[in-house]
Amino acid sequence: MGVLLDNLPAFGEGLRTTAALTLASYLVALVLGTFVAAMRVSPIPPLRWLGTVWTETLRNVPLTVLFFVFFFGFTKIGVSYVPFVSAVIVLGCYTSAFVAEAIRSGINSVAPGQAEAARALGLTFAQVLGTIVLPQALRTVVAPLGSLFVALIKNTSIAFTIAVVELTRVVKELASVTGEAIPLYLGAAVAYLLLALPSSAVIGAIERKVAIRR
């Protein structure tokens, strides 16, 4: 236990990076995912195809492989960013595919009559989607979007493979320096749980708040 207390500042720094990584990537994922979902229901075929290719590719390739392709592969074609930014891009894009799928299923859950009524009033595609369907769809997908957030907290740990100094990296390095791996890894496990469990609670609260009462 002593080793944890001795290295509390480094530990805290890692935890902060993990939190920052989670929040930044989630923001990217939400924005990108909403766009991709809109693309997938748009009347313009190339956009639909692009949306489908985007989600299917990112959902079916392991996150670790994406990290390696982007960070170690793309530097060869002159695409390189510092590890933290790379991690935000990869995590954001990866999660956006799942966000898009969640939102699309939300869109599907909105009764067709809503869109039809909006069209009857003469709204355009963008207006139907933006002002009528999406606001209702987003409410129904709070739970899956929430569990994506929790999954994202855990997924940030994979960023240690590209040298982002987040919690897992800090713990791994401290463990090899001090040789006291067990308390350090247990500490990390508890820290991740402490991030995940309150998030779940907050998400649950939001879910209850926005629930459509019928």
**Residues 94 to 123: which contact another protein by CB under 8 A?**
95, 98, 101-102, 105, 107-108, 110, 112, 115-116, 119
**Distance of alpha carbon 214 from alpha carbon 211, whole angstroms:** 9
| Both structure tokens of 122 | 């003469």
Q: Which of 15, 89, 91, 158 touches another protein by CB under 8 A?
A: 158
Contact between 151 and another protein by CB under 8 A: the answer reads yes
Distances (CA, A) of 55 to 32, 139, 213: 11, 22, 32
Residue 123 C-beta: closest distance to another protein, Å: 10
Residue 46 C-beta: closest distance to another protein, Å: 4
**Distance of alpha carbon 15 from alpha carbon 6, whole angstroms:** 16
Residue 12 C-beta: closest distance to another protein, Å: 17
Residue 213 C-beta: closest distance to another protein, Å: 19
Radius of gyration, CA atoms only, the chain: 20
Contact between 206 and another protein by CB under 8 A: the answer reads no
Contact between 42 and another protein by CB under 8 A: the answer reads yes
Residue range at the interface with another protein (CB under 8 A); choices 5-13, 20-28, 81-89, 188-196: 188-196
**Distance of alpha carbon 12 from alpha carbon 144, whole angstroms:** 29
**Distance of alpha carbon 193 from alpha carbon 189, whole angstroms:** 6
Q: Which of 17, 22, 140, 157 touches another protein by CB under 8 A?
A: 157
Contact between 23 and another protein by CB under 8 A: the answer reads no
Report the first-to-last Cα separation within the chain, whole angstroms: 52
Q: Which of 12, 176, 201, 202 touches another protein by CB under 8 A?
A: 176
Of 102, 187, 109, residue with least CA distance to 144: 102
Binding map of another protein across residues 61-80, x = CB under 8 A, - = no contact:
xxxxxx-xx--xxx-xxxx-
Instruction: Pinpoint the alpha helices (H) of the chain.
Output: 2-6, 8-40, 45-60, 63-68, 83-109, 112-120, 125-127, 134-140, 142-155, 167-178, 181-210
Identity of the residue, 13 or 52, whose beta carbon is nearer to another protein in the bound complex: 52
Residue range at the interface with another protein (CB under 8 A); choices 4-12, 19-27, 80-88, 191-199: 191-199
Q: Are 146 and 203 in contact (CB under 8 A)?
A: yes
Contact between 35 and another protein by CB under 8 A: the answer reads no
